[in-house]
Amino acid sequence: MFSEAFFASIHPMVVHFPIALLTVYALLELIPFKKVVSDPRWILAKRVLLFVGTFGIFVALSTGEERGGENLEPGTVLAYHSLFATITTWIFGLLAGSQFVMTVTIW
């Protein structure tokens, strides 16, 4: 349906949006805002950042896999890039999954 050239051109555009969202989410989780932590609006905002960022990172990972191919030589920059992208996707995917379960359980 889509060519490899399409994925090669879209990957750099797709990857930066989830990185920004997940960075803001991580900063909001790490910085202890005592007044903000218990406010339901901030909890919702953090969950939205996490869910949208995680969805975006799965899109970015899939476009990167299409772009990079499957023949990565070990030890190359592209191989490490792919490894760290996969690890980051798993970490934030598990975080989003746990937050989703907590959200569904509360409602």
pLDDT tens per residue across all 107 residues of the chain: 566 677 667 888 888 999 999 999 999 888 877 766 677 888 889 999 999 999 999 988 888 877 766 667 888 888 888 889 899 999 999 999 999 998 888 76
For the four alpha carbons of 46, 51, 52 and 56, in that order, the dihedral sign comes to positive
Q: Would you state the structure tokens that stand for residue 47, as one six-digit string? A: 């969950």
Q: pTM value?
A: 0.82
Cα separation values, 74 from 2, 32, 79, 84, Å: 28, 40, 6, 13
Q: Name the amino acid, one letter, at 69.
A: G
Question: Distance (Å, rounded) from C-alpha 94 to C-alpha 104?
Answer: 15
